[in-house]
Amino acid sequence: MIKPDAVENGHIGAILDKIAGAGFKIVAMKYTQLSKREAQEFYVVHKERPFFGELVGFMTRGPIVSAVLEKENAVEDFRALIGATNPADAAEGTIRKLFATDIAENAIHGSDSDENAKIEGAFHFSGREIY
């Protein structure tokens, strides 16, 4: 997901360019806005965290771009491309270093395992929306 902060700040094109340039194939994509319920479901693993309410508020405040990406070693390579959760800790040239605001409004989300990538892909897309 390209998050609401990055969409608001006009970074969709630049972020997709970096993703394509890093060799990822886009197999599904949509411009959409999460409801409160959807954001609570997507981030359910964080529901006990003190920042959960803030996270849901942020993720629902405007549109996002969601996508399913394919590549050899995709999860690890995508996490390297986006950088650390906190942009202050992210390596130079990473998407979060370039486009994120802070640890909460950090521009982009990537799945942390192949298993979660399947779950998260199915959250955003039906089978016939993935090519």
Structure tokens at 114: 């192949």
Closer residue to ligand CMP in complex, CB, 16/103: 103
Q: Which residues contact 11 (CB under 8 A, 6 or more apart)?
A: 2, 99, 107
Structure letter (DSSP) for residue 9: T
Active site amino acids: 109
Structure tokens at 27: 């197999």
Is 94 an interacting residue with respect to ligand CMP (CB under 6 A)? no
Task: Using CB under 6 A, pick the residue from 33, 60, 85, 101 that binds ligand CMP.
Answer: 85
Is 14 an interacting residue with respect to ligand CMP (CB under 6 A)? no
Task: Using CB under 6 A, pick the residue from 14, 84, 98, 103 that binds ligand CMP.
Answer: 103
Beta carbons within 10 angstroms of residue 59's beta carbon: 24
User: Which one of the spans 12-20, 28-36, 49-57, 115-123 is the region binding ligand CMP (CB under 6 A)?
Assistant: 49-57
Task: Using CB under 6 A, pick the residue from 11, 18, 96, 109 that binds ligand CMP.
Answer: 109
Q: How does 84-108 read in b/e, with b if 16+ C-beta sit within 10 Å?
A: beebeebeeebbbbbbbeeebbbbb
Task: Using CB under 6 A, pick the residue from 84, 104, 116, 130 that binds ligand CMP.
Answer: 104
Report the interface residues with ligand CMP, using CB under 6 A.
46, 51, 54-55, 85, 103-104, 106, 109
